[in-house]
Amino acid sequence: MTPAASAFHYLWLIPALPLAGAAVNLFFGKRLGKLSGVLASATLGAAFLLSALLVKDLMALPGDGRLVVRHLFDWISVGNLTVAADLRLDQVSAIMILVVTGVGALIHVYAIGYMHGDPRTGRFFAYLNLFVFFMLMLVLGENLLLLYLGWEGVGLCSYLLIGFWFDRPEASVAAKKAFITTRIGDTFMLVGLALIVAKFGTLDFTAIFHATAAGGIAKGTATAIALLLFAGAIGKSAQVPLHVWLPDAMAGPTPVSALIHAATMVTAGVYLVVRMHPIFELSGVALTVVLVVGLVTAIFAGTCAFGQDDIKRVLAYSTISQLGFMFMAVGMRAYAAAMFMLVAHAFYKALMFLGAGSVMHGTHDATDMRTFGGLLKPMPITGVTFLIGAAAQAGVPPLAGFFAKDAILEIANHTGRELVYVLGTFAALLSAAYIGRLVFLTFFGEPRSQEAAHAHESPPVMWIPLAVLAAGALVAGWLNLTPEGRLAGFLEPVAGAVPGGSGLAVPVMDAIAIAITLSALIAAWYTFASGRVDWLAVRERFQPLQRVLQNGWYVDRAYQTVLVEPARAFAHITAFVVDTKIIDGLVNAIGAGVKRLASVGRRVQTGYVRTYALAIGLGVVALMFWVGVRG
Amino acid sequence: MTAHILTLTTFLPLAGVIVLLAGGRRLGDQTTKAIALLTTVATFVISLVILGRFDSAATGFQMIERYSWVKSIGLSYLLGVDGVSLWMVLLTTFLMPLAVLASWHIEKDVRRYMLAMLILEISVVGSFLALDLLLFFVFFEALLVPMYLLIGGWGGERRVYAAVKFFLYTMAGSAFLLLAILFLYSKSGAAGHATFDLRSLMSVAGGLPAGTTRWLFLGFFIAFAVKVPLFPLHTWLADAHTEAPTAGSVLLAAVLLKVGAYGLIRFNLALFPEAAKYFASFVSVLAVIGIIYGAVCAIMQTDIKRLVAYSSVSHLGFVVLGIFAFTHQGMTGGVLQMVNHGLATGALFLVVGMVYDRTHTRQLGELGGLAGVTPWLAGAFLFAVLASVGLPGLNSFVGEFLVIVGTFSVSHWFGSLAAVAVVLSAIYLLWSYQRLAYGPVHEEHRGLPDLSVREVAILAPILGLILVFGVAPRLLTDKIQPTANAVVARVDPAHPRDAAPILAPAAAPAPGTAP
Amino acid sequence: MRTPIAFFLVLSGILFGVGTAGVLLRKNALVIFMSVELQLNAVNLALVAFARMHGDLRGQVLAFFSMIVAAAEVVVGLAIIVAVYRRRLSVNVDDSRELRG
């Protein structure tokens, strides 16, 4: 065994470290006090270092042999179905574990400062560590059931963390909504797993890919499997129509929003589709569905983001929209572009969420952008790092977002998907515009409230992670300067070659993209920060539209009226009419019938001894008569 | 001694009964409880010997004990254990000490309460081990009496109504069972050797015409379907569960319901394989309706014990669905789910009982904010809820997954509809957790004590097992499988079915190495 | 010449009829009890008569047997009647009808 291979023996340690941290924090969190956050961050830091080490070893392997599967133990073995607890390290999971542990560690450090003074920090870090454990299982699992384990596990942690401040009613409602909405998708996914077992007899990725390549399943089956799995991805990655939970999920503590609802968990859907792309490709139709859903979501969420006043809700809708971009990429078989965007997004969106948290920290938990303004001056580090993140998302070259978004649009153009290109460009315009609005309303202009005027910068434990993430957002673009760039090359053995073609020349498209971004940003500046436009008055004039956007096109309310209320009525009828009145009523009616019969029969029992004696006598006579007749 | 290990396990609680009876009123309440606890713990330890001596590879009955009892009618005292009953017995003996501990605060008539508990244990374990049909029937009926007393004597406000309903409902089902048993017995007499021995009756039943076996199947089926309970025979459950004292609810859900599902496997499938196949889709439809119906009813409940009761209807639907899929995964998953449900729902009732002891209400509307006041209690509730919801990594998930997979290969519709319960269970259980643990705390609930040492001692073993069996379900399934596969093979001898087809084993790299 | 068996049987029948009528028609528990004794003795008479007719002692044995049983029954029955009387101050059987459905 080569030395490189032996290092992979420790692959299990990567998820085990945060799990151990979670266990210690859960049971001894109170006693650890402030140390709980340090411990949690340390486990993640160690996991990150180990991941980096293993990924380096992985890179040392020959290009098409970069796959390590470590068998831990057989989890389930019944009949001819065996599901093992195997960990898989390949190019895709390598990227994912680096993002999860790296960004995760930074957010953990930040959370030490953010959660300072909360009486339940031990619990908080236990959940956060547990989340990372499940997320690592999700991306490291060698079969779909381990992935599903991680999938449900991160959902649980998301539930616990959204509802962490459980005495706030909106937090507990949002937590339940998040869990149940994603579980709707998970149900389809579970059926998808059952279908895979029925068709393949296994859930192992390696075996599934081999069988698919060997033509083991029909195209229709592949479509069914792919769509069922994608339904799970829609729920987890908050795509239309199951996106409703993510904006509400912002009720949780901000580090949670950064880690779970921006950088890692919500990207699990993208990871799933990338991971299972052989099935999606075999189907073909399924990829188109992915593309359409991604496109619709990107535009839809972009418009919603424009209507929000709550800084975290803007970022939430922005996340949904960016995830839509990733799904667009996946739908066009540009898996490397999607993964690149995933990495870049993890940096700049985590950065912006943490920045928003820092703003809240400095303004006594204010989140309404209408009360902000001019925060750049009192909070210079937060402001500058936030600006970097925003610029990255808006697509200002040479930051990460520019390359990522550009790569996707370029592929759309070059593969002849003109409509996708145009609509995608529109979505990009939207994202630059709403992020511009956010930045200019928050950091520029004049303070519009007491809190904003007296804002203060956050402590180093919070701004250092911001700085590191900002650096990451700055350089992440270098990972993939061109669609044929480094990340794509690294991923090619798993994800296949980046689809190519011909269309507009690359420099032309770059120019268009830059022009659009800059014009959107300038328009936002002119409206919200130049002081020359009374934007509140403009907003008044467009009141109906503004309100529609703010309420996310009233999708929530529509679900409430069309689905939730009827379902509730149905359940009510089932439980209190069908069950208690009809089924149980029938049972009680039988009981009552017997009782009534008995009330007639009881008259025979007069209580007079002499009646009984007469009856006995007559009975004897009748018996004797009967015996006599028979004899 | 080990030669009579099954008898010893079954009747060891009788020693406790005798001591309690002999001691009479002279025994104080604490002594009485201690004797009951000691007896149940000893029974559990003894039952571990069965586990130790169990031969996983064998498919038939093991450790058989047979004595002729009433020779003239062919009644024998016949006990035996296989991969299905093994875990049912262990589940019972494991939960009994916990149930006794959970009854520590009982003050009314402690001696009779504990007597009822011990007699309940005898009759339940007896029903799981008896292989003579009449002996089984005796145990099966006997377990009604102590449970009737527990509900009627120590239950909630409507306890008498609930107890009578429970008793009459199950008795009515048993009437059909007795008729069917006697009919089979008469046929065995006609075949030359009158007996109640299950093993002999299997061949007797095999010789009967198909129409007759179908009627007999229904006779057995009704009795067990009431016990399971299968939709639409489930309405006694909600009342009985709700009104029973904590330990009663625990044992009712965890153990008594399993007697029904166990009976389906042990008697219906073994005696009438052809009829079982004939009725399979009918039973599966009832099971699927039960899965969804129970969940929908549970959503609307405001009484937490009622909610858990309806969730049992849903979960037991999974068990029956898995059993009647007649695949290896379905059958093993169904049996596994019996154990899992026993642990998860048992834990739920235990925690709910602890909540009730503190707050004296079962109404979710009158609860709230317990996560802040009693974080460990709320945490334990959440853990049990997650187990019931089927969170991967905890026990129920494996069983549910196997049932869904095992059913799916037979019928896509049944498998998919069963999966819907995944969402529904999340709705009703998480909603109940939210109403109980989240939100503002009620003024009068401030300062409630968190888990006591006794309560930790009750919950730690059961919650621990929930986790262990979630990570290492093979501890259970390796022993269940041979029996389950044999049952499937008997029902469907032509095609021993597996959920998974065997594809051409494409050259998959051996795990554990970098290629 | 022996007395014909029919005489005994007729007498036995009459006694039994009187006893039965007493049981069915009288309300006083003591009288009912006496009527029952009358019935028993009517049967005894028939038994002894048959025994003599067949020259078989088993009939007489059975008569003794039933006399002993009757004696035991009287002990229990009278005790019950006394107990009931103490409680209700009445031996009227119609006053005790707790078994009415």
Q: What percent of chain A has pLDDT over 90?
A: 43
- pLDDT category at A3 given cuts 50, 70, 90 is very low
d(CA B10, CA B128): 10
pLDDT score for A46: 95
pLDDT score for B145: 93
Q: What letter does residue B439 receive in the DSSP assignment?
A: S
Q: Do B169 and A587 contact (CB within 8 A), yes or no?
A: yes
Which residue in A has a C-alpha nearest to residue C29's C-alpha?
Answer: A609
Range of weakest confidence among A376-390, A475-489, B436-450, C3-17 = A475-489
d(CA A247, CA A257): 10
Model pLDDT for residues A67-99, shown as the tens digit of each residue:
888 888 899 888 888 899 999 998 889 989 999
Comparing CA positions, the residue from A318, A263, A264 lying closest to residue A439 is A318
- pLDDT category at A480 given cuts 50, 70, 90 is low
Which residues in chain B have Cβ-Cβ distances shorter than 8 Å to A173?
434
- pLDDT category at A5 given cuts 50, 70, 90 is low
Decide if pLDDT at C46 tops 90.
Answer: yes
Task: Compute the average pLDDT of residues B108-117.
Answer: 90
d(CA A410, CA A429): 15
Which residues in chain B have Cβ-Cβ distances shorter than 8 Å to A84?
511
- pLDDT category at A445 given cuts 50, 70, 90 is confident
Decide if pLDDT at B513 tops 50.
Answer: no
Q: What letter does residue A307 receive in the DSSP assignment?
A: T
pLDDT score for A524: 87
Q: Which of C20, C23, C98 sits opposite A607 (nearest CB)?
A: C98
Among the ranges A212-226, A599-613, B337-351, which has the highest mean pLDDT value? B337-351
Comparing CA positions, the residue from C16, C59, C57 lying closest to residue C38 is C16
Quote the mean pLDDT of chain B. Answer: 89
Q: What does R_g of chain B's alpha carbons equal in angstroms?
A: 22
Decide if pLDDT at A564 tops 70.
Answer: yes
Q: What does R_g of chain A's alpha carbons equal in angstroms?
A: 31
Decide if pLDDT at B511 tops 60.
Answer: no
Q: Taking the CB of residue A475, how many other CB atoms lie within 10 A of it?
A: 13
Q: What is the pTM of this model?
A: 0.89
Distance from CA of A584 to the nearest CA of C (A): 28
Which chains border C (3 or more CB–CB pairs < 8 Å)?
A: A
Quote the mean pLDDT of chain C. Answer: 90
Q: Given CB atoms, is C97 within the 8 Å cutoff of chain A?
A: yes
Q: Do chains C and B touch (3 or more CB pairs under 8 A)?
A: no
Decide if pLDDT at B37 tops 90.
Answer: yes
Asked if B235 and A587 come within 8 Å (Cβ–Cβ), the reply is yes
Element (H, E) at C26: none
CA atoms within 13 A on the CB side of C29: 21
d(CA B474, CA B381): 26
Model pLDDT for residues A343-360, shown as the tens digit of each residue:
889 999 999 999 999 999
Q: Given CB atoms, is C55 within the 8 Å cutoff of chain A?
A: no
Which residue in B has a C-alpha nearest to residue A144's C-alpha?
Answer: B392
d(CA B92, CA B47): 10
Task: Name the phi and psi angles at C27, rounded to 5.
Answer: -105, -20
Note which residues in 17-36 of chain C have CB less than 8 A from chain A.
20, 23-25, 27, 32
Range of weakest confidence among A321-330, A421-430, A453-462, B215-224 = A453-462
pLDDT score for C94: 84
Q: Do B408 and B288 contact (CB within 8 A), yes or no?
A: no
pLDDT score for B515: 34
Comparing CA positions, the residue from A285, A182, A195, A191 lying closest to residue A236 is A182
Quote the mean pLDDT of chain A. Answer: 88
Decide if pLDDT at B402 tops 90.
Answer: yes
Q: What percent of chain B has pLDDT over 90?
A: 59
- pLDDT category at B440 given cuts 50, 70, 90 is confident
CA–CA–CA angle A334, A339, A343 (5° rounding): 150
Asked if A608 and C97 come within 8 Å (Cβ–Cβ), the reply is yes
Asked if B499 and A179 come within 8 Å (Cβ–Cβ), the reply is no
Asked if A610 and C23 come within 8 Å (Cβ–Cβ), the reply is yes
- pLDDT category at B506 given cuts 50, 70, 90 is very low
pLDDT score for B494: 67
pLDDT score for A485: 56
d(CA A506, CA A59): 30
Distance from CA of C2 to the nearest CA of A (A): 30
Q: Which of B297, B327, B392 sits opposite A153 (nearest CB)?
A: B392
Decide if pLDDT at A226 tops 60.
Answer: yes
What ipTM is given for this predicted complex? 0.91
pLDDT score for B348: 94
pLDDT score for A195: 92
Helices (H) and strands (E) in chain C, counts: 3, 0
- More confident position, A501 or B239: B239
Which chains border A (3 or more CB–CB pairs < 8 Å)?
A: B, C
Q: What percent of chain A has pLDDT over 70?
A: 98
Decide if pLDDT at A481 tops 70.
Answer: no
pLDDT score for B260: 93
Comparing CA positions, the residue from A299, A330, A337 lying closest to residue A317 is A299
Question: What are the residues facing A141 on neighbouring strands?
Answer: A87
Task: Compute the average pLDDT of residues B84-100.
Answer: 94
Task: Compute the average pLDDT of residues A392-414.
Answer: 85
Decide if pLDDT at B297 tops 50.
Answer: yes
Question: What are the residues facing B62 on neighbouring strands?
Answer: B81
Annotate A390-459 with three-state secondary structure: HHHHHCCCCCHHHHHHHHHHHHHHHCCCHHHHHHHHHHHHHHHHHHHHHHHHHHCCCCCCHHHHCCCCCC
Give the orientation angle of helix B133-142 with respect to helix B159-190, to 10 degrees.
170
Q: Do B97 and B44 contact (CB within 8 A), yes or no?
A: yes
Decide if pLDDT at B269 tops 70.
Answer: yes
- pLDDT category at A513 given cuts 50, 70, 90 is confident
- pLDDT category at B306 given cuts 50, 70, 90 is very high
Decide if pLDDT at A559 tops 60.
Answer: yes
pLDDT score for A606: 83
Q: Do A402 and A395 contact (CB within 8 A), yes or no?
A: yes
pLDDT score for A458: 87
Which residues in chain C have Cβ-Cβ distances shorter than 8 Å to A610?
23-25, 27, 32, 93-94
pLDDT score for A24: 93
Q: Which of A601, A604, A609 sits opposite C93 (nearest CB)?
A: A609
Distance from CA of B221 to the nearest CA of A (A): 18
pLDDT score for B514: 36
pLDDT score for A474: 83
Q: Which residue has the tokens 């402590």?
A: A459
